[in-house]
Every structure is written in C-alpha cells, then in structure tokens.
A and B are shown apart, each in its own frame.
Chain A
Amino acid sequence: MIIMENIIKSYKIAKEDLHVLSHINLTIQTGEFAAIMGPSGSGKSTLMNLIGCLDTPTSGNYYFAGENVASYKDEDLARIRNSSIGFVFQHFQLLPRLSALKNVELPMIYAGISKSERRDRSEEALRKVGLADRMDHLPNALSGGQKQRVAIARAIVNEPKLLLADEPTGALDSKTSETIMEQFTKLNDEGATIILVTHEAEIASYAKRTITVRDGRIVSESGGIT
C-alpha cells in the first residue's frame, strides 16, 4: 500500500536545516492496522502528514498505491487525499455550521458525486458508526465520542484506500476511546488499512503493528506483517 524510502523532512530555522524526520524507511501493506508511537515532538504528526499527502518530503521516495507522490503538485495531492485517504483528527475538525450529514457529505462534494448519491452514502456511513438517529444534529449538539464517529463516517465515506488517525482518542475519555477503537477494529476487520498515532500503549494495543518514532527516526517495530 505505501512504501517510504529514505524520507527526510527538514525545516529551515534560522538558516539551519532542522531535520524533523531523517531516513525514514517504512512499508505498510494493504489491510494493516498500525500504530505510530513516540514521545511528544518526535515527528509522529509530521510523518502522518507525509503519509496523508498533506505535505511533501524534503527528499526521498514515497510510493502511495504505486504512485511516487514525493514530487507531486498540490492539485494531484488534493486528488489523492480526496479519493484515497480518510483523515480522523484529534479535534474532530467538523464544520460547525453543517449538520452531521452535511459534514459527511463534504469529501464527496469535492469528488463530484451527485447530490442524491451523496445523501445515500452519508446516511449509510453514519449508520455504520451508529449515528443513524443523529444525522441532522449540528456538531455542537453532539458529544465528543459522537463527533469523532461523525469524523470517522466522513473519513470512510469516499471508500479510501487508507485511513489515517492522528491521536483520534486524544480528546476523549477512556470509556469513549474504547468505543472509537472498537470502531477502527471493526473497519480493519472489514479490510480497511489503518494507521493511527497515539502515545497511549493501551490504544496502540488495538493495532496489530506498532512503529516507534524517536527524534525523527523509526527506532523499533513490532508485530508487522512479514
């Protein structure tokens, strides 16, 4: 599914190159459920943004579903994000003025899907995450767990190849976190490829593989598919 070769990400700060990620080599197969762990500031989010085509590496090759996207332009990256990647964020990132249903419809608007099909598919996605009775609620009228489930519905509605979640339970209590993680497990069982970032071992334990990042390098791996 994804192959990263010698990925480097650096920022120029005060005329000096600050390497946030150095020499990352990473392969994720289709159907995997991987957790990226590591201390704060180690580069987890930066790595996730690269995987999610929100950012491009300073150097190295990144093959996403066979395409080398490392030097892709903004337009192409947007197309890949839209069709092939679903994002779940720590802070839900729902549009506050839109109902749950309309939020879930968003990625399909940019995919150019017709209104009626959008509606059907959004309803189905929301039903899948157990929010059939909350479709017309605004995000404000939903609990944290419900908001995150709307976000998951939005992430899966375009049937992406890859589901990315950066600390999806970071803003939730442990009970709610559990239901969210069960949701991810269920999606993985149905065949979804999932990568999530967390610094809680308990959350990481839902994943089948754990990748640990420290100071911008992958320092250990466990449970990977061989």
Chain B
Amino acid sequence: MSLMENLLMAVGSLQAHKLRSLLTMLGIIIGVGAVIIVVAIGQGGEAMLKSQIAGSGNTIELFYQPSNEEIAANPNIYNQAPFSQEDIRLVETIPGVKQVVATSSAFSTVRFREKTSDSSAIGINQAYLDVNDIEIAKGRGFAASDFISGRRVTMISSFMQEELFEGKSPIGEIIRIGAQPVEIIGVLKKPTGLLAFGSVEAYLPYNTWKTIFAKNEITQITLQAESADQIKRIGQTAAKKVNLLHGTEDSYQVINMEEIAQGLGQITKIMTLIIGSIAGISLFVGGIGVMNIMLVSVTERTREIGIRMALGATRKQVLTQFLIESMTLTLIGGIVGIVIGWGTSALISFFAGWPSLISWQVVAGGVLFSMIIGIVFGLLPANKAAKLNPIESLRYE
C-alpha cells in the first residue's frame, strides 16, 4: 500500500470530523505559529542589530574613552571634541580606507523670526552623505561646492520643521543658528521604524559649521573600508595611529565586533532557550491532544479496523494507517501554523518596523517537527489499533 494511498485515506478520515480535526490541530497550530513568529522576529532583530553595529556600509567608528589619569588631569575632557583635522588626514592614509566620515556637533539655539528651538547643529563632510543614506523629503541636499565654499546652507530634520514652521514649507527661509543666518535648502524625511528616534537637528557643511562656531574640531570619526573583511584591521590600525599621535595609551578605540557578536550570541541563546521551552510545552500539550483524539478515533473505529483486518490488512498496515493519520493531522497543523506565523511576523514587521526573517531552515524545521510530533504521539493509539482482535472488533457495536 503506497504512501499516497495512505495519505489520501488519512485526509478522508480527518475530513469526516472536520471540526474535531481542526480543534485538535489548534494546539499544534499555536505552538508552531508561536515558534515561527519568535524565531522570525528574533533572527530579524539580530540581523538588524548586527548590521547596525557593523555599519551597513562597511564602517567602523573610532571613539575616545579617556583613561582615569586623563580624566583626573582634565575633568572637563568629555566636553571637548576628541578629534582634529590632523586625525582625519592620518587615518585617511591607511590602506583599505575608502573614505573617512567626520562629524562635529554643537548644541545651539536655532531661531526663526520669534520662534526658537534647542537643537544640535551637526557639521558633516561629504563622505557623510555617501555613507549614510539620507533621504530628503523636501528641497535639495548639499552640493560638492557647498562643502568646499562653506556656503551658509542647512538641511533640517523634520522635527525642527515641526517646531519652527508648523507644517509650512521652510525651503528658502533664513534661520539663525547662534546668531548666524543660514538658508534652509532641504528637509530630511521623518525616520521610520521602532528604533528610529527623531531629534531636532540642523546639518551644515563642515566648513560652514567651522565658521559659525569658530571651532575646528571633530566630534566623531567613522572609517569606511573598501571591503568588509578589512574593517577589523583598519579599525585597529587607526586606533593605534591616533593613540600614537595623541600620546595616549589606549584611549582611542574601535568597537570590538567579536565581543559584541559573542554577547549577542549569548542573548540569542538564552532567548532561544526560554522560548524553546515555552514552545516545547505548548507543542507537548498539543501532542497530548492529538494522542487523546486518536485514541478516541481508534475506539470509535474499532469495527472499521476489524473489517480492514478481515479483508487482509496486516497489523503493520493498520499501525501505518493510524500513524499516517496522526502525522497528517499534525503536519497540516504545522503548515497552518507556519503560514499564520509567517503572516503575523510580516504584520509585526509592517506595523512595528522591526524586520523579520524567515529562513527555509525554520520552515523545514517546523514541517519536520510537526510530523515528528504526529508520529510520536500517534504511536500509542496506532499501536492500540494494530493490536485489536479482528473477531472482537467485528462484533463491536
């Protein structure tokens, strides 16, 4: 007797009690669905975090972590910008560095007519625009000439537009940063997603920023590598060179991605463990439900089993029939669970802006696992059916 034949027979038997079959599957559907959702969101989140840490464009950030002695010598150290133009020139020469993103930030009051807003004014170089994909909602972005000449132009965040212009178009208006007039040429798109925090910001070409604030200092340096496998080496070389230049021991550092990956792996492991046990319990309970219904079904169909045996079904064939039936039940439940899990995680992604990731391994695992549940929990009922005595079964009322 072929597998296909058995499957068709199983589907027929399950169709005879549609509601019952559906209710029995519910435990499996919920269990598998929950696992899929959690895994999809977990993996999506992990991928997102990793890409944010590693920098989507093969970037690595150089940061300044002063030692205790440096802090003791200069308690005000945190309020001073840690980098200078010299540092940029230094790291630019490291082989494998594609470009160096430099930003300088200053807090400043921004004024438009009688309205004011506390904002950060961020001076950026041209590389910043290449590395960060900045989306402009209105107006235009900076041109190369703006960077060179230090024109008095700015792009503002959508939050600043809300505060100062209340929905009116700010393009072409003059605002005052500190006391200096600057023309607005663009408004940035509102950031979307769960992790996007909006702040009131005005972006300026670095040379503009430099003249407005009369400072020539860099707050943040990010290196972009030519390829991903160079990131680590470039980061370490840059930190070493900058430390040497500043005469510091180890105050200039880059993020150690291996450590972070390890930490992430640890978190993921714990999450998987917790969720795995919850899913395990729900699937176990679902499996018990399947076993229960299959036991009822065997009892109800005692006569059918007797008839089949009288007509020549072997005990093995009866066992197989019921095993395949319970497996079909859980398999359908599993597939429905996967589809529902998939849909739900897509919905969550859509509304919460959190990416979800469904790999074929997860789908295959879900299918396989639900089949295994059917076989494991179908074993007892199927064995009961196979052990029936044909003569007594034929007499069963």
Contact = CB atoms under 8 A, between A and B. Distances in A.
Given A74-B315, A97-B16, A106 B308 contact: yes
Given A93-B303, A109-B5, A110-B1, A83 B391 contact: no
A154 B311 contact: yes
A38 interface: no
Interface in A56-91: 74-75, 78-79, 81-83, 87, 89
A202 B314 CA distance: 37
A74 B390 CA distance: 11
Nearest to A151: B307
A95 B304 contact: yes
A25 to B, nearest CB: 23
A186 to B, nearest CB: 22
Contacts of B317: 110
A110 B9 CA distance: 13
Nearest to A52: B310
Interface string B301-313: 0011011111111
A134 to B, nearest CB: 20
A18 interface: no
Interface string B298-333: 000001101111111111110000000000000000
B12 interface: yes
B394 A79 contact: no
Nearest to A157: B311
Contact of A81 (B16, B312, B316): B312
Nearest to B397: A91
Contacts of A142: none
Interface in A124-149: none
A94 B304 CA distance: 8
Contacts of B13: 97
A55 interface: yes
A78 B313 contact: yes
A82 B317 CA distance: 13
A13 B390 CA distance: 20
Chain B: interface size category: 20 to 34
Interface in B5-41: 5, 12-13, 16
B1 A54 contact: no
A89 B396 CA distance: 13
B308 A75 contact: no
A111 interface: yes
A81 B311 contact: yes
Contacts of B316: 75
Contacts of A81: 309-312
Contacts of B391: 49, 54-55
B312 A110 contact: yes
A43 interface: no
Interface in B274-315: 303-304, 306-315
Given A78-B309, A93-B394, A97-B16, A109 B314 contact: no
A223 interface: no
B303 A75 contact: no
Nearest to A76: B314
A163 to B, nearest CB: 13
Contacts of B303: 93
Nearest to A89: B394
A97 B12 contact: yes
Given A49-B391, A75-B316, A87 B310 contact: yes
A107 interface: yes
B314 A74 contact: yes
Interface in B380-397: 390-391, 394
Contacts of B313: 78, 82, 110
A172 to B, nearest CB: 18
Interface string B125-147: 00000000000000000000000
Among B303, B313, B316, the one with the most A-chain Cβ atoms within 10 Å of its Cβ is B313
A75 B312 contact: no
Nearest to A84: B312
Contacts of B304: 95
A6 B395 CA distance: 27
B327 to A, nearest CB: 19
What 4 A-B pairs come out closest when comparing CB atoms? A82-B312, A78-B314, A110-B312, A107-B311
19 contacts: A49-B391, A52-B310, A54-B309, A75-B315, A78-B309, A79-B312, A81-B310, A81-B311, A93-B303, A93-B394, A95-B304, A97-B13, A110-B308, A110-B311, A110-B312, A110-B313, A110-B314, A110-B317, A158-B312
